[in-house]
A and B are shown apart, each in its own frame.
Chain A
Amino acid sequence: MKTITRLFLISITAALLTLPAFCEEAENPPAELRPKDPAQVFYNANALYEKGEYSDAIETFITVLDAGLESGNLYYNIGNSFLKMDKLGYAIYCYEKAKRHMPADSDLKSNLDYARSLAGTVDYPESVAKSVMRRFIYPMKQMSLGAAAVFASVVYLLTVLISALFVANRILIKRYGIIFYVLIAICIYSILAFGIRYYHEEVIKFGIVVEKSLDCKYEPIDKSTTYFNLPEGDKVVVVKTRNGWRQIKRLDGKIGWVPKDSVQEI
């Protein structure tokens, strides 16, 4: 039996050690996709931005994206370039993309608020329940969704490991039971918070209006009657996408159809 215990503990420890391998696998780009020096491309784009050549800067930044790489700073700088070109919709879209990578960045928050104030739009409003939920998951919102997944997984594995130790030696739970219960609470919290974030960021699809004054129609037909109008930079929920049209829901709950390219999915 002791052998089984040892084997089990070893396997859990091995699992903990292999977790970074998953992260590594997920976070390192395949060699064929990597540009020769993406960082250099980024610096070149920054130099173009400093010269005021915003259009060229965007094109250069986008070569990094085309190579299959992304980062919060990259989206942030593209957003700044679009803002300088007065393309508020695309700027807000890029800032929203950046927010997924660095949700706690104060510069990003400031620029996003500024872009929204210029566009005269607001963030998608939330109900009381969602507001309570947002406060509940606030600590987990300080990291990206990927980092939150890693954190929740590590806590989960640690909880399993500690639980196994307590099962193997019942005296431990009498002495150090508080650690066990705290870990269980953190584990449940982190998994719940990750689940809520996953639902709001991956299951519900948001989009940003990138065209100036967009007509939203009753049906996905050009000649259909315009139901309402959306300003550039407005945040909407993308309900579905079909045949070059997107069905979107406005913040007041009204639903209509817009051409696909006029709303960029975050």
Chain B
Amino acid sequence: MNKTAKIIAILSIALLAGMGDVCARDVKFEVSVDRKQLAIGESCQVGLTFYEQRGIPIPDLGKIDGFEVKYIGPSTMMTVINGKMSSSLTYRYSFLPLRIGNFQVGPFTFDYKGDKYTSNMVAVEVVEEKRLTAAPVLTERDALIDRVNLDDRIFLTLRVAKANAYTNELVPVIVKLYVNKLNVSDIQLPTFGQEGFSKADFKEPKQYRERMAGVVYDVLEFGTSIFGTRSGEYKLGPAKIKCNIMVKKSASSRGWSRDNLFEDDFFDDFLTRYERHPVELESGDTPLVISSLPTAGRPASFSGAVGDYQFIFSASPGKVNLGDPVTLNMEINGNGNFNTVLVPELDNTDNFRVYDPEIKTDEHRKSFKVVLIPESDKITATPKAVFSYFDPNRREYRTISQGPVSITVEKGKYEAPAQVVGAPLQESRRAVEREDLMRDIIYIKESPGKLVPKDRYIYNNPAFLMFLPLPIIFLAVFSFLEARRARFRTDSAYAGRLLALKASRRGMKQLKDDIRSNDAKRFYETLFKTLQEYLGNRLDMPTAGITSDIIGSVLAPKGVDLDVIRKIKGLFDVCDRARFAFMNVADFKMTSDLKELQDIIKYFERIKI
């Protein structure tokens, strides 16, 4: 298709759509489809449009012949033409064809608030898949596939291995899901009607391909076994499987024709989307006759086992002291219903104490470990074990006897018998049977217990939550203070520095008071004492030993600035003069001396001595 043709096609479609809109203006309820011809495996969108109406509930279309219907959602449209506004509400549905043929969608009738709405009718043709696309060379198999409907593309079968069985006989059941050229996802495990039967769990499904009537199907095979618990004629099934079919939903369903505009494979893939259609597949049912086990020839030791079994028997150890345990290992293996296999019967256990068996069951094996404690040193062999079962293939009862196995019981030193928890065997067999029959709830509680406010828990209490960080904060603060205290005790330089600073702060406060009271003598006495105390603590020397005379010889070797030393000496001299010569000192002089003291202390706080 050349470019001009494409443009003409687009303009034509737009014109037709516009005309359609104009024509539909008077119609209140209209049905439309996005494509009137589609193939099996594709879907089309059907719109139910209500004009000039709002709040209309979603119409229930019910069952539509030939289609699986899925509601997609609503859409609204408002148009303003020459200042006149109109609105429409469209409910969209996805229609998945189930078979080929010509179908009618509508007319639909719908009542709302006393008004009756009747829609138009639209014809839809469901065709073979290949008719919609350019026809490639078809193989014989493709041709066969194209003629089948959706029911032939995906279906379910239920098969039982035999039509007649005995009660408790295992009957294999196979459920097969056949799929041909469809994308299927979210496949759930099959279910089927099984009244009168007990069913095992489904095994891991097998996947393979199978040719049927010339068509190749992907097959998912689910296997399980059932057994009838009562005799009678039954119908097994139908089996059901829920899954989703992934249906191609092309962009053409949104109102323009892909076939006309793009014939390129790239656009085909790019514009194709998938839509899930949930389906429930159902197989046919199958008759199964369950017969009672024959009474003729039933051995006394028969306990209900049905199948084809072998019986292995051993005892260990072969030599024991009186009172020590002997373990009988009994294994039943083969094919059959192991639910019905009980512990083999032990013959003549008079001189033994017999304990509960330990039972292990696998798919084709059930083993029993029975502990016996010989009560006499005259015992020479274990009891004999007898196992009876019904073989459904031979249609007869069979009995296997094993043992006795020789053992030696020595008197030896008497010790308390090994502790084996459980009741004797005969009782346990009855108990096992009772357990299946008598399960029920345990009686109500007689007292209300501790009644607490509903939904109020300590861990949601804001006060409690706020309280929780406090101890850890206290611990952190306490640890810090303790560490500081320990350093104060052990590090003299650190302690001196702290004390010096403390003394200087105290002195500064006093000096400021003295300036306010204009007491020069007292000011310089305090200044002298503060400077002396500070330097004494800072240099770790006796306070009384700090004088103007020695200050230079002490500080200079420690690398203190000569200018600072000179300032210190100056301050000491001023203090001496003021204290002993009673000179008059102006306010500003006291302030400047205080400033000088502060500078000296700041200097010493900065340097490391």
Contacts and interface: CB of A to CB of B under 8 A. Distances in A.
Nearest to A18: B467
Nearest to A115: B441
Given A74-B448, A80-B444, A11 B453 contact: no
A160 B475 contact: yes
B478 A73 contact: no
A63 interface: no
B474 A11 contact: yes
Given A46-B444, A72-B449, A225-B71, A1 B485 contact: yes
Nearest to B453: A29
Given A1-B481, A8-B478, A168-B482, A71 B448 contact: yes
B607 interface: no
Nearest to B482: A167
B602 interface: no
Contacts of A8: 474, 477-478
Interface string A73-85: 1101100110110
Contact of A22 (B444, B446, B463): B463
B449 A68 contact: no
Nearest to A9: B478
Contacts of A157: 471
B208 to A, nearest CB: 25
A228 B470 CA distance: 51
Contacts of B441: 80, 83-84, 110-111, 114-115
Contacts, number: 145
A65 interface: yes
Given A22-B461, A146-B457, A114 B452 contact: no
A150 B458 contact: yes
Contacts of B467: 15, 18, 22
Interface string B466-492: 011011101101110110010000000
A171 to B, nearest CB: 13
Contact of B478 (A5, A27, A115, A156): A5
A56 to B, nearest CB: 14
A149 B441 CA distance: 32
Contacts of A69: 451-454
B439 interface: yes
A156 B441 CA distance: 41
B516 interface: no
B450 interface: yes
B450 A77 contact: no
Contacts of B609: none
Interface string A8-27: 10011001001000110111
Contacts of A83: 441
Contacts of A92: none
Contacts of B444: 46, 49, 76-77, 80-81
Contacts of A198: 459
A27 B458 CA distance: 8
Contacts of B464: 22, 26, 153
A224 interface: yes
Contacts of A223: 58, 60, 71
B440 interface: yes
B475 A70 contact: no
Contacts of A167: 475, 478-479, 482
Given A46-B446, A164-B475, A28 B453 contact: yes
A145 interface: yes
A228 B463 CA distance: 45
B278 A226 contact: yes
A30 interface: yes
Quick one: which of B71, B440, B441, B472 has the most chain A CB within 10 A?
A: B441
A145 B454 contact: no
A136 B150 CA distance: 54
B439 A114 contact: yes
A42 interface: yes
A42 B439 CA distance: 26
Contacts of B481: 1, 4
Quick one: which of A26, A30, A39, A150 has the most chain B CB within 10 A?
A: A26
B453 A30 contact: yes
A25 B467 CA distance: 14
A127 B317 CA distance: 42
Contacts of B58: 223
Given A4-B481, A15-B471, A226-B278, A38 B457 contact: no
A76 B474 contact: no
Contacts of B360: none
A181 to B, nearest CB: 16
A198 B457 CA distance: 12
Contacts of B452: 26-27, 29, 69-71, 146
A194 B464 CA distance: 15
B93 to A, nearest CB: 10
B25 interface: no
A118 to B, nearest CB: 9
A33 B451 CA distance: 12
A207 B461 CA distance: 24
A237 interface: no
B70 A64 contact: no
A161 B28 CA distance: 81
Nearest to A198: B459
A8 B450 CA distance: 36
Given A22-B464, A160-B474, A228-B242, A70 B454 contact: yes
A73 B449 contact: yes
B206 interface: no
A34 to B, nearest CB: 9
Interface in B213-258: 242
A160 B467 CA distance: 13
18 contacts: A11-B474, A22-B464, A46-B446, A68-B454, A70-B453, A73-B448, A74-B449, A74-B451, A77-B445, A107-B442, A114-B439, A114-B440, A146-B457, A164-B474, A167-B478, A168-B478, A168-B482, A226-B278
Given A28-B453, A146-B452, A167-B475, 6 more contacts: A5-B482, A22-B464, A71-B448, A145-B459, A228-B188, A228-B242
4 closest pairs, A vs B, by CB? Answer: A73-B449, A73-B445, A42-B448, A149-B459
